[in-house]
Structure formats: structure tokens, C-alpha cells
Structure 1
Amino acid sequence: MMSKGLQIAEPPRRRQSGAGGADTRPEKAKPAPIAKFDHVAEDEKVQFNKRVTRGVADGYEILAIRTRRKVPDLLAEALSLLEEKYGKV
């Protein structure tokens, strides 16, 4: 005995808008105005991308955690120490 397969209902018919009937969709509410980002940076900042070994990167991250400082602050301090040793750039 063979089965007839799945009994699937027909999809609902599409509503006709325009000539056939009035569009019954509710109007979309306009979104509230978005506040613009107005943060002003204290200093001009740039992104500093240099490849270093995993050990150096991990060392800076661990120092940042231990001293509760940010890596850019540690890089600035390292620059000042190197300038003391080798002279200003």
C-alpha cells in the first residue's frame, strides 16, 4: 500500500493593494531622532599597527593588567624611557 505523502495546505493568497482594495497596512512610526556622536578627543590620536612577537604583545598586556593602565600609556612611557637613553626623536 502506497502512502499519498504529506498533506500540505495551500499558501494563503496575497492581498491585492491598489486597484483591488485599500491598503490596510498600518503606517510605520518614524524613528526617534538619533543623538549624534559629539565626543571631542583630548589629543589627536592615530592607530598604531606594528607587528611584534606574541611574547612582546603578551608582555604589554600583562603589564597593563598588573599596573591597571592601558597599553597606549605603556607605549608612551616606553618611548620616553628610550628617548632618555638614545635622545629625542
Structure 2
Amino acid sequence: MSHVLTPRERRALEKLSEDQRDFLIKGQLVGVGALTLQTLVDLGLAETGPSKRYYDERGWRITDDGWRCMYGKTLKGMMAGGAPHMPLKLWSWPPS
């Protein structure tokens, strides 16, 4: 059964998509709660790891599955070219 993302989960995933290279620390995720981040990690849409810019402080970043949830493609697939990519209307994981 698919999990349809809540508005909070959608905002958190959008926030995480702002930086594709580094793990965003809590201070960069203002308005995003720990429970929301943990839900995204549990679904496999986000992952945790050390931030490179902030002295290895623990942070979060979007995964390939997170991009698939938002756009139907991975970031690499979208960067390969083609028409502009618009976010899907319904964000769910696994996709419905």
C-alpha cells in the first residue's frame, strides 16, 4: 500500500531538494520537524549523513527515491535533458 505524503512531508522533501550535494543540517531545515524527517528516512525518500560544510554535523538529504516520488525520475534522469520537469500532482511512495 502506498503512503501519500502529507503537506509537511512534501515541504520537507522540497526543502531537501534545494541542495543535492550535501546533507542539510537542522538549522537549514527551519520549520521541518524531527518526526517528519524520520518518516522520510523510514520511507527511503531521505537519508542521513555528515555535512561537509558544517564540521561533520549530522544532516539529511534527498535520495533517488525521493526524486522519483517528486518527479517520477531520478535527478540524474532529469539532468539528462529533454522537456522541463514538473513535479507530480500526487506524491506517494511507493508510487501508485
After TM superposition, the score normalised by the length of structure 2 is: 0.24
* Bigger CA radius of gyration: 1
> Whose strand fraction is larger, Structure 1's or Structure 2's?
2
**Whose relative contact order is higher, 1 or 2, with alpha carbons under 8 Å and at least 6 apart?**
2
